[in-house]
Amino acid sequence: MKPKQKSRQEPAYRNPKLSVERRVKDLLSRMTLREKVAQMLCIWQQKSNTMVDEKGRFDLQKAKSHFKDRAGLGQVGRPSDAGGGRNAREMAELTNEIQKFFIENTRLGIPVVFHEECLHGHAAIDGTSFPQPIGLGATFDPELVRRLFEMTAAEARARGTHQALTPVVDVAREPRWGRVEETYGEDPYLVSRMGIAAVQGFQGDATFQDKKHVIATLKHFAAHGQPESGTNCAPVNVSERILREVFLYPFKEALHKGGTISVMASYNEIDGVPSHANKWLLRDVLRKEWGFKGYVVSDYFAVRELNERPDLFGNHLAEDRAQAAALAVHAGVNIELPDPDCYPYLVELVRKGLVKERLIDELVTPMLAWKFRLGLFEDPYVDPAVAERIVGCEAHRELALQAARETITLLKNDGGLAPLDPRRIQTIAVIGPNADRRMLGGYSGVPKHCTTLLQGIQDRVGASIKVLYHEGCKITIGGSWQQDEVTPSDPTEDRKSIAEAVKVAEQADVVVLAIGDNEQTSREAWALNHLGDRASLDLVGRQDELIDAVAATGKPIVAVLFNGRPISIRNLAAKASAIFECWYLGQETGRAMAETLFGDINPGGKLPITIPRSVGHIPAYYNHKPAARRGYLFDDVTPLYAFGFGLSYTQFQFGKPRLKKSTIGKTESTEIRIDVTNTGARAGDEVVQMYIRDKVSSVTRPVKELKGFERVTLAPGETKTVSLEIAPEHLAFYNIDMEHVVEPGEFEIMIGNSSRDQDLQKVVLRVK
């Protein structure tokens, strides 16, 4: 007789037919304290010590040795950078092997989440790279942003990624700060619309069934974009009203309208409390007030900074790493990134009674829930062939090109010098330190394709025009984003080079002058030997001398700026006939800019941030209070170029604005309509911008605030009617009692094509 077979029932958490809540509850009930804490840990730089060999290949014996307690791990950071970098197929194979190990060699088989940087494309080998967020802000095109991050999600997910540490929805009100390039600009409404679009692109419907989407991470929560002295991670000194109306607003909007799943806390402190220890911020506001159900990740090494981070700084709220961990978990930080540092002490803290195990359960629960919702327990692997096929593909390249085209912003065009007419030009001199330099900005990968301005011009004109080139001068020696040490260029060598560049310019009919920043002079300052904030907004090095020398030749100058933050370019503005602001355009820099120079493309970008006349003019953001910007002795108080400003090769005429209803109740909505006509001879894009001002209010209000916009494309002679909604949310603010309300009275509704008063028409809306 055969022995009686014992029925072995699978645990509930393994049953995909059960609800996620039921599965999480069952799994959590089976986990030891050590296994729970393991879910709150991540490995990034320690990959080489724990799971991969020196070439970035998975090392089974190394992994078995390090994870011999079989407790598991919460996340693995940036598998793309293992061994110096993995291409699409190699990364997909690596994530599969790592995932297989944790599923098969841990007691409960809990899969890991892989996170990656995806600021402007997946920051990995072969990832498609498009303009930096500050450039995307210039597009004023949320739908484009949604499509770009949908593409990025597909590329990253195909390689095994589950979470993107993006988008940045910081409001950049401090142009000295090196991280301006990572933001969508200075306006909370613009930042919020771009943030919502990015989240929607990354997450789709957040079911993740198609394996083409990833979890988005809003960062940096909160107020990271106005650091004291303009230096990264410095305290932010703002009132609660400003905090809520300016800095928290994009997070709240992206959470409620985008459905973001994860948030990253910021390095800075607010009112003496660093964000990673801020219960009011992470619990009272984010979770209780806003209803956030996702999870908070730490910024890299920020939990340690609650104590002391050697060779950088410490906040000294904690006497050691164990106390730093206690502060962070009590504030509500679910997982410590990027490597096990402070959170391993949580096991000991719970056993000593300093942290309750139910708090650990609370923080682990949403992370487990999203592992189930991502389908990782049933379908944890990816197909390397799919990754190889779609990453950096031609369709994605075309979308990156479209983004570059829409980013380019024309600031000046005296005499209609641009677009250049090839029939009237025999020789072009392309001069400047950024003319033949590949510049992607921070958090970039290594795309399959990447063109410089010089290459783009050469490809565009072929043999029909002679193209001369000279560097002119250097900005810094080397200049790579990853290069820690910043070495200024040699003045003597620069001046010799400038003299040679002048000889080149003298041979040309027109000079294309490529200047600005490089990736060292504006970047995240993450260490004392890796700085990127500046005390000046002037051009670095001898670039102004280069401008003067080229201008002295009398040749017409088309200036092309590449930079990560606003530069005070008064000298350039006086001497160049045409100026293009490009920010960083991504892998298609050369092609997009060459198309624009020769009129194949009509620029339609608008400034997402004010360009001040000098560093002494900051703060320079447009949405200031009435008592600000009254005037300076010996200088003009206005900006050099205003928020929302940008020219075109064609002309647009705005009709009279009209309100659908000129009087509404406090809970009612209306809309403003305006006819826009292309009166020129070229097709072009215009951005219709709506600003609002409460004329009399219980607390002072900004002179104007962007509350709506739409980018429209018009053929020559074509007219379109643009309608923009005015809802209570566009009129409300925090009143004298800190209540978010609409106060009755008159509101100025301003509509036009920039934030400048002369570019706006006004109508009055009455709210009763």
Return the active site residues. 299
Q: Is 25 helix (H, G, I), strand (E, B) or coil?
A: helix
CA distances for 758 relative to 626, 750, 762, angstroms = 17, 11, 11
Radius of gyration of the chain (CA): 27
β-strands 578-581, 557-562: how paired? parallel
Nearest Cα neighbor of 252 from 169, 355, 159 is 169
Place of tokens 């290594």: 446
Kindly give, in sequence order, each residue whose CB lies less than 8 Å from that of residue 531, ignoring residues fewer than 6 positions away.
178, 486, 525
CA 687/CA 702 separation, integer angstroms: 22
CA 328/CA 341 separation, integer angstroms: 13
CA 182/CA 190 separation, integer angstroms: 14
Place of tokens 């005390």: 535
Nearest Cα neighbor of 546 from 572, 520, 564 is 572
- Is residue 72 exposed (0-12), middle (13-18) or buried (19+ Cβ within 10 Å)? buried
CA distances for 434 relative to 258, 471, 476, angstroms = 37, 8, 11
CA 767/CA 271 separation, integer angstroms: 36
Half-sphere exposure in the Cβ direction for 536 (13 Å, CA): 7
Tokens of 722: 């643009």
3-state secondary structure 32-80: CHHHHHHCCCEECCCHHHHCECCCCCECHHHHHHHCCCCCCCCEEECHH
CA 260/CA 149 separation, integer angstroms: 14
Phi (first) and psi of residue 309, to 5 degrees: -105, 110
Helices 88-104/142-158 angle, 10° precision? 60
Half-sphere exposure in the Cβ direction for 574 (13 Å, CA): 9
CA 571/CA 549 separation, integer angstroms: 12
Answer yes or no: are the C-beta atoms of 158 and 391 closer than 8 Å: yes
CA 604/CA 599 separation, integer angstroms: 12
Answer yes or no: are the C-beta atoms of 603 and 134 closer than 8 Å: no
